[in-house]
Chain A
Amino acid sequence: MPRQQGAGFALSQRQAAVILLVPFLTVYAVFLIYPFFKGVWISLHDWNLMAVAFNPDAKSYVGLRNYERVMWGHNITWGALASPGFQIIGLIGILASALLYRAGRAGKVTALAMGLAALLLFVLPGFHPGEGGRWYDRRFWPTVGNTILFVGLAVPGVTITAMLLAAALDGETRAKAVLRTLFFLSQVLSVTVVTLIWQIMFSPRQGLIANLTELFGGSPIVWLTAEGFAMAAIVIATIWWSLGIAMILFLAGIQDISKDLYEAGALDNATGAKAFWYITLPNLKRTITVVVVLQIILHFQVFGQSHLMTGGGPNDTTQVLVRYIYQTAFRDSELGRASAMAVFLFVIMGGFSILQFVLGREKDE
């Protein structure tokens, strides 16, 4: 046992707790809580980065004007099918979540969250400028739309690939362990290494993909600067990069499924793909939800892929929310407007974090 303390020096539990908590709470208060509220405060000001840097008084309180200038416009109206693509998906989503809940295929929280997201997808894109109207910031909502599109492509891509791989690679053999390692490896690389690799992979002159197409007599695609291909390119790079975590979560989920189920299934001739469809998939429902929510949070914050591979282009088709915040703040020096967008991002992320937390709680019980 360590040195004995004289009774007179012994700290009470309360004193010990204070000593142990102070370092973290200080850092936490100064570098997270305070900046968070300061961010909200900045969003209520007309705040130019350069002007305020030279003269701290060069900012003025404008209330919610920044939010209006970012999200609203002149003469905005709402139409049920103003943006049919998103809105129909939203309608289908509302119906699907109700049906899944009625059929008992989705839990209450899952159905509620799905329904809410679908409702937003139906309502939000319905706003559009009426006659003679315009958005104050005509780039903001398209940027949000691009971000959602990116999430909508990357999340199913990662989830489905990861789930199939996990089902195939579950097992204790050496060969499977090696294969798991190979598929996980790209996950530890930094975003700048990933974009470096894929920029040159996609390059029409030097890229491996272009070399391959030429080998087969095709003409190379100008991936990163062609509208329609640029988004696909950053989604492909992202799936390649972030498959690992999802695969590991699915492996853990699959290992939780009782082996008896598979043995019973084998008696009914359910092996291989059949076993996957009738046994693995239904028992992975919770893991799928967790992985999907986690991926949404992760990919909604996409920045590096867009910033480095396409520069948001061509024609803003890969411009995403975090990059727009970054540019508004540090290229245009408009900290007030950028902060309003950051608060918008926080509200969305916060919603998904709460959902993630609730789902995690359900699992523990």
Chain B
Amino acid sequence: MNRSYYWLILGLSVPAFIWLVPTIWMVSLSFQPNDVLARTTSSTALGLIPIPFTADNYIALFRFGQVPMWFLNSLIVSVGMTLAVLAVSTTAGYALARLDFPLKGPVIVLCLMGLMVPEQAVFIPLYTMFADWGWHNSHHALILPRVAVPIGVFLMMQFFKAIPKDIEEAARIDGVGWLQIFWYVMLPLARPAMMTLAILTFLYAWNDYLWPLVSAQQREYFTITLGLASIQSNFAQAEGLGRVMASGVIASLPVVVLFLIFQRYVVRAMTAGGTKG
């Protein structure tokens, strides 16, 4: 390591810190008393250090208000969507990658075309359909539209295509059925790809805004992402800036923790989702 390397790192630390400032500020404000924040947001070091300090915002958040319920809704929707996407994507991805059947080519093309349809092109008809069926304001209404997006099928299909054929053939000679091969041989091999897909789906579900905004009108069915939108327009008056910021921190905690633990998968998932869907 030479001197220019240390200058580079030092030089980049400054923009990196600036990049982090908005996040630090949110966390710092969430730990300051609301009456102080009503007067000034720059008590100590432009407000970047939470002095005077209080944890009241978080306590209030969990004792009153709807944030815990929204958080739970987000958890249910995100986990539900992740499991559903994994189930339909692994099965369909395996069939499209490894099995022969009539009309296979057209089915693949049909699925591929679905990648071109943006959420915004179907959210109005989906709204009318779900309204006709009385499905709005429910967890499954928030889950199902995303399960139909074929991105996961393609991720799994590409993965299964790359597995050597002889593994399957050995099992076939032993007389093992196709579904057993899928379940006992292929799925264990597919764990890394499934992990990537799971994280991609969970992040999407947790952060989705447009569809929950359209579908969930009752506050009891808000996700945390949607709930946060509903309290930020009038934050200073109603609940106090500190508490709104605390809600923002709580809303970000799962995805940030997920990111810090599974960084490699998250990066792979987001780039795969970004470049292919």
Contacts and interface: CB of A to CB of B under 8 A. Distances in A.
Interface of A: 1-5, 7, 9-11, 13-14, 16-21, 23-25, 27-28, 30-36, 38-39, 42, 49, 52-53, 165, 168-169, 173, 175-176, 179, 181-193, 195-201, 206-208, 211-212, 215, 240, 244-245, 248-249, 252, 272, 290, 294, 298, 301, 303-304, 308, 322, 325-326, 329-330, 335, 338-339, 342-343, 345-346, 349-350, 353-354, 356-357, 360
Nearest to A199: B232
Contact of A24 (B1, B25, B92, B120): B92
A33 B116 CA distance: 11
B116 A17 contact: no
A4 B19 contact: no
B99 A13 contact: yes
Contact of B209 (A14, A25, A39, A192): A192
Contacts of A350: 116-117
A9 B150 CA distance: 31
A193 B47 contact: no
Interface of chain B, main secondary structure? helix
A318 to B, nearest CB: 16
A211 B251 contact: no
Contacts of B46: 208, 211-212, 215
B83 to A, nearest CB: 12
Given A176-B9, A206-B236, A322-B120, A245 B153 contact: no
Interface string B3-27: 0110011001100100111110110
Given A24-B92, A349-B121, A208 B214 contact: no
B41 A208 contact: yes
Given A19-B179, A245-B271, A245-B274, A168 B101 contact: no
B13 A179 contact: yes
Q: How many of chain B's residues touch chain A, expressed as a range?
A: 35 or more
A189 B209 contact: no
B105 interface: no
Interface stretch (B57-65, B189-197, B221-229): B221-229
A31 B144 contact: yes
B77 to A, nearest CB: 13
A344 to B, nearest CB: 9
A150 B213 CA distance: 23
Contacts of B114: 28, 32-33
A1 B171 contact: yes
A118 B8 CA distance: 39
Nearest to A1: B174
B8 A168 contact: yes
B131 interface: yes
- Of the candidates A20, A49, A301, the one having the most CB atoms from chain B within 10 angstroms of its own CB is A20
B198 interface: no
A192 B131 contact: no
B48 to A, nearest CB: 8
A186 B20 CA distance: 8
B252 A189 contact: yes
Contact of B19 (A186, A189, A248): A186
B164 interface: no
A2 to B, nearest CB: 4
A4 B175 contact: yes
Nearest to B231: A196
A16 B178 contact: yes
Interface of B: 1, 4-5, 8-9, 12-13, 16, 19-23, 25-26, 29, 37, 40-42, 46-47, 87-89, 91-92, 94-96, 99-102, 104, 107, 111-112, 114-129, 131, 144-145, 147-150, 153, 171, 174-180, 182-184, 203, 206-207, 209-210, 213-214, 225-226, 228-229, 232-233, 235-236, 241, 244-245, 248, 251-252, 255-256, 258-260, 263, 266-267, 270-271, 274-276
A188 B256 contact: yes
Nearest to A311: B233
Given A4-B174, A290-B275, A353 B115 contact: yes
9 A-B pairs with the lowest CB-CB distances in the bound complex, closest first:
A16-B178, A190-B207, A24-B92, A31-B148, A38-B125, A346-B121, A24-B88, A17-B101, A20-B95
A196 B242 CA distance: 12
5 contacts: A16-B177, A20-B91, A20-B95, A23-B87, A212-B46
Nearest to B183: A2
A201 B118 contact: no
Contacts of B233: 308
- Of the candidates B95, B228, B244, B274, the one having the most CB atoms from chain A within 10 angstroms of its own CB is B274
Contacts of A329: 124, 127
Contacts of B116: 346, 349-350, 353-354
Given A16-B99, A354-B116, A196 B26 contact: yes
- Of the candidates A11, A27, A335, the one having the most CB atoms from chain B within 10 angstroms of its own CB is A27
B2 to A, nearest CB: 11
Contacts of A197: 22-23, 25-26, 248
